[in-house]
Amino acid sequence: MSRPTTVADIREAFLGFFEAKEHLRLPSDSLIPSNDPTLLFTGAGMNQFKEEFLGRGRDWSRVTTSQKCLRVPDLENVGLTPRHHTFFEMLGNFSFGDYFKAETIPWEWHFFTEILGWDADRFVVTVFTDDDEAFQIWREKIGLPKERIYRFGEKENFWPSSAPSKGPNGPCGPCSEIYYDMEPGKPLPANEGLEDLPGRFLEVGNFVFTQYERHDGGVLEPLPQRNIDVGLGLERVAAVAQGARNNFETDLFAPLLSTISDLAGKPYLGAKASNDEEEKIDIRMRRIADHARAVFFCIADGAMPGREGRGYVVRKILRRAVRDGLDLGIQKPFLASLLPSLRETMGAAYPELTQQGSTIEALSNAEEERFRDVYHRGITRLEEEMKTLHASGAKTLSGDTAFALHDTYGFPLDTAEVILEEHGFAVDHSGFHAAMEAQKSRARAGSELSGDVFAQSLGSLLREQGLVETAFLGAEQGQSDSKVLAILDAAQSGSNALQQEGSAGQERLIVLDQTPFYAEGGGQVGDAGQLLHDGQVIATVLDTQKEEDYHLHRVRLEGPIKTGQGLLAQIDVAKRRATEAHHSATHLLHAAMKQVVGEHVNQAGSKVSSEGLRFDYTHPEGLSHETLAQLEDLVLHQALLAQDVAASLSSLDQARASGVTALFGEKYGDVVRVVRMGGFSAELCGGCHVRNTGQIGPFRILSDRALAAGVRRIEAVAGQAAAAQSRADQELLHTAGQELKCPPQQVPERVLALKGQIKKLKDAQKQMLKSGGGASLSELLSQLTPSGQLQWSAPQGQSADILRGMSDEMKQLRQKDGAAVPPAVLLCGGSGEPGSELPFLFQCDPKAGWKAGDLARAFGKLLGGGGGGRPDFAQGKASMPQGGLQGLEKAIEGFASELTSPA
């Protein structure tokens, strides 16, 4: 009987085993917890069964799953250690008031020793100090020698850890962990005085026995419903089953590491790594493989890279992977290209990797491109900091600044240190690590899962101050009497960001008790406007964002302001109305896309502002001009019907049952807002809209372009912006008509006629060359000037077409008599005026080892242009050097002097 060893086989073997034990097999829950708003991500198999563990919820008694999980407290260790991951799978079996220890322990033992076929003599287990029941089962029912059963305290073998003495109150219980000995030849450690097991023992399973309710004072009262929560880390189990030295060297990661190695042009060496540099390369590759999995699964479940909460976590993970790619020398965006490799091993179990593939690729690629820009800006910031250090005479970059480079720009400390040392500066390591630890402490206070990833959010800071959430009034009114609750300096962190007052010229974030300003969300930009006091403008609102349920008004202060102050908040009504028109037009466009292009079209992102709208959608190919015109006409038709736009609240289930469109990546509560436009469009949306579709006005599609494989972007305008675009188009056509000396309606015909004339002139020019109207080939060869191994000529006034004609004749002669033409020839044309366009080409004999394409690229780059082509022929364009022909001759001589003989 063959034993399961691949990840897919192990997963199926576990789930099938417990199905046979009358467990209900359920699919993995989303990485975004479905019923626990206190969690950023699903971090354990039991998360989705919170109600069942409390004796409520669905009528299930036995369940088994393979759960997608994400944990990030140990983010810094990923790639460095054999077992740490961000994303992982947890095999689990659960009992809700049904079986307990006497069944669980033998079942898990049978799975490891009989189903997987592992050596029973290599297992050791741990139990809680006072859990005699579990000890007896391991000793008597399983037959494990007592020296292989270790008793540990509440810190190691109780859930939650240390619950009896430290809390929290609530359901809890002892746990038993099962370990596999990776160094079986060594003696077992003695039980006495041991607080945890040495690293040679690999934890492969954890059995939590929820049997108590903790009360104040550490009182443990037996629960009427005792539960079982078993978790087996699939990656760890696979590593043992496959005899791999770490989780990354299993079949699960092999395709990813192979692709990363190909992209980097460096091998993944694993156990063959023989020095620190090779090990660093391996670490970076392992980290990319792990982080790519995490990012792809997060996006597939709707957790997209963003600025806060789980979006910030996803962005942080993605940027770490890209930074490792940069360190490996991968110069172009690469992360999205790893998705097919992940599908090889996980696509069958998780079809969302295929179903959302185009969206995953588009968002990963876009975020990577943005980060590459940010990273390069980080280098610029570091250069500015070094200038400041030099001017002040200081020699050490502060730890806070180094941490800001690391946290904001993803700029590694070691990279910053190398650059600083090259310029005679050092970095304050202790200050950097203190800032890092301060961030971790703030973050852990808000969420255990996010402790190592992001600093305390402003929303969390405001909530700590006891501030009430901002009441949004802007759906019905454009101004409100409001009170200043908080003034924030975004450049500061933690409580230092809180300010009691502000003065003219400063940029600050203002929190009001109530506001008409819409905070950016759902693709709609935040409102702009003014804050007034006693009829005077004291702040210009540049933008409005949201942190949790607080509206943050980003303002430029025009006068003094202080907390507690009353003022009039007033939006820019014209901008809001234009934004509303574009938002409503986006809904109509989405509905039109499904009707015209197909029901498979899904919105993959959007942005609506007063200037226009951007609509990202899933579709494998570009839309024809006719299809775009059809979409434009349909949206305009719906607008002209002037139907009422109605918003209503509904339960999520009712909304979905009625066919309302729910957008990818959006998470909805039990009660949702449905926006309907006649019978044409119905979407879940919390944004601002026109009252009647007639207020949208005219509609124009400006462009349709590809973002990534299967994802495209339409840009369009509505209302006044569409009218302005039509006027601009008319003016352009009028100007073209004036230049072409014809009425605007005849411009296309006139352009076609001119194209025909140009073609005739080019043909005549080529014929003139062939008939001797230009320099003859013999004359050209006699005029070649030697510079090193290069022969060159710069006949004045010759176009690129003439040069190509000369090259063709030269090639034909070379084929007849190779000795008649030098092996490497450079021809330059143009007027000879400094700064003018310089067409050039290389005609080479590949048999002599020359490569024209390489020469053209190098020569073009030398003169501020570019070039390329085949080994025998290549061309390019550059700029004529200062000094005209003399400058060109000097440049060619310098270029030729650097050439070495071809091999």
What does the pLDDT look like over 139-150, one tens digit per residue? 999 999 999 999
> What pLDDT shows up at residue 495?
77
pLDDT band (50, 70, 90) for residue 56: low
Over residues 717-745, mean pLDDT: 93
Over residues 755-768, mean pLDDT: 75
* pLDDT exceeds 80 at position 644: yes
pLDDT band (50, 70, 90) for residue 35: low
Residues 637 and 694: beta-carbon distance below 8 Å: no
Distance, CA of 848 to CA of 114 (rounded, Å) = 68
Q: What are phi and psi of 292, to 5 degrees?
A: -60, -45
- Quote the Cα angle for 504-509-510, to 5°: 85
- For a pLDDT cut of 90, what percent of the chain falls above it? 57
pLDDT band (50, 70, 90) for residue 752: very high
Q: What's the whole-number average pLDDT of the chain? A: 88
Nearest to 114 by CA among 24, 244, 13: 13
> What pLDDT shows up at residue 496?
83
Nearest to 34 by CA among 13, 51, 20, 56: 51
* pLDDT exceeds 80 at position 545: yes
pLDDT band (50, 70, 90) for residue 371: confident
Comparing 92-106, 443-457, 780-794, the range with the smallest average pLDDT is 443-457
Nearest to 873 by CA among 806, 817, 819: 806
Q: How many residues does the chain have?
A: 903
**Cβ neighbour number for residue 238 with a 10 Å cutoff:** 24
Pairing of strands 671-677, 426-427: unpaired
Place of tokens 């820009």: 373
417 membership: H or E segment, kind and range: helix 413-422
> What pLDDT shows up at residue 55?
77
Q: What is the DSSP string of 97-111?
A: SS--HHHHHHHHHHI
* pLDDT exceeds 80 at position 411: no
* pLDDT exceeds 60 at position 775: no
pLDDT band (50, 70, 90) for residue 346: very high
> What pLDDT shows up at residue 38?
67
Distance, CA of 662 to CA of 676 (rounded, Å) = 13
User: Residue 308 gets which letter from DSSP?
Assistant: S
Over residues 888-902, mean pLDDT: 85
pLDDT band (50, 70, 90) for residue 453: very low
Distance, CA of 736 to CA of 733 (rounded, Å) = 5
Taking every pair of Cα atoms in the chain, the longest distance, rounded to a whole number of angstroms, is: 107
Please, what sign has the CA dihedral across residues 834, 835, 841, 844?
positive
> What pLDDT shows up at residue 312?
83
Answer with the residue of higher pLDDT: 401 or 177: 177
* pLDDT exceeds 50 at position 446: no
> What pLDDT shows up at residue 25?
96
DSSP H helices in 675-799: 719-740, 747-770, 777-782
Distance, CA of 144 to CA of 124 (rounded, Å) = 8
What are the tokens at 583?
Answer: 């938002």
* pLDDT exceeds 60 at position 667: no
> What pLDDT shows up at residue 169?
84
Burial class of residue 414, CB neighbours in 10 A (0-12, 13-18, 19+): exposed
566 - beta bridge partners?
A: 483
Place of tokens 């979006």: 311
Burial class of residue 321, CB neighbours in 10 A (0-12, 13-18, 19+): buried
- For a pLDDT cut of 70, what percent of the chain falls above it? 93
**Cβ neighbour number for residue 729 with a 10 Å cutoff:** 11
What does the pLDDT look like over 151-208, one tens digit per residue? 999 999 999 899 999 988 888 999 999 999 999 989 999 988 788 899 899 999 999 9
Rg of the chain over all Cα atoms, to the nearest angstrom: 34
Most confident option among 48-62, 124-138, 464-478: 124-138
* pLDDT exceeds 60 at position 524: yes
For the full predicted model, state whether its pTM sits above 0.75. Answer: no
pLDDT band (50, 70, 90) for residue 668: low
Residues 535 and 527: beta-carbon distance below 8 Å: no
* pLDDT exceeds 70 at position 449: no
What are the tokens at 168?
Answer: 């929290």
Distance, CA of 844 to CA of 821 (rounded, Å) = 9
pLDDT band (50, 70, 90) for residue 373: confident
- Using alpha carbons, list the distances in angstroms from residue 286 to 90, 200, 413, 698, 721: 20, 21, 20, 53, 49
- Using alpha carbons, list the distances in angstroms from residue 57 to 17, 52, 453: 25, 5, 33
> What pLDDT shows up at residue 443?
46
What does the pLDDT look like over 225-273, one tens digit per residue? 999 999 999 999 999 999 998 999 999 999 999 999 999 999 999 988 9
> What pLDDT shows up at residue 76?
83
> What pLDDT shows up at residue 391?
86
> What pLDDT shows up at residue 413?
79
